[in-house]
Amino acid sequence: MSRILIAEDEPRIAAFIEKGLRANGFTTTIANNGVDAIEKALSCQFDLMILDLNLPQQDGFQVLQQLRGQGENLPIIILSARDEIEDKVTGFEVGADDYVTKPFRFAELLARVRARLRQPTLAKASEQHLLQHGEIKLDLYTRQVSVGDRLIKLSAKEFQLLETLMRHPGQVLSREQLLDQVWGYDYDPGSNIVDVYIGYLRKKLGTNSIETLRGMGYRL
């Protein structure tokens, strides 16, 4: 039975999410502020966290930064009323695995939770811990990326995007595939988040590291 940490300071919303998750067989714990959320996430064995951004004491971005900074790979879904693209990009930059905006339908949140729980952690995804393509090396254990002798610093979402591309060397991956595997939500034709992150990777890895095939997608 999967255990889910709900970091939400609005009692009605927290109770609504908890009731729905328990009805679907999950075990839940609620944290009503950022400090409590960090302590619970680090001290207990949870399978996933649902994280509000507007938490007292420490906000959701700070919670994410502290957890990822301490090497915590717990899958985290942001659930927030902030729907600006800047907030979504920031959330992914500091380590979120998915982003759901309020108001929300519980059925959608439940589907996102189940999708994240189906995805194995990086350490369990494969016995192979080192991926290499040309001069690019990606270590799944240390989460280090290098190009030749040069170490490259990537955000959590950049790392996940590069890992996805490196697991399919030479294969063209569409925007829909990358959105589904890296961001975990259905394709929005108006979204350019994949293009933005491909641009980030090219700046860090080299302009010719990722090929664009017009109308088809991207290939490492």
pLDDT for the residue numbered 40: 92
Domain boundaries, the chain: 3-119, 123-219
pTM assigned to the model: 0.58
Q: Are the CB atoms for 74 and 68 separated by under 8 Å?
A: no
For 173-217, the pLDDT digits (tens) are 888 888 877 876 555 556 788 899 999 999 999 988 999 998 888
Domains 3-119 and 123-219 are alike in CATH topology: no
| In contact, 31 and 10? CB cutoff 8 Å | no
Q: Which residues contact 192 (CB under 8 A, 6 or more apart)?
A: none
CA distance 89 to 96: 9
Band of pLDDT at residue 119, cut at 50, 70 and 90: low
CATH superfamily of 3-119: Response regulator (3.40.50.2300)
Could you name the CATH architecture of 123-219? Orthogonal Bundle (1.10)
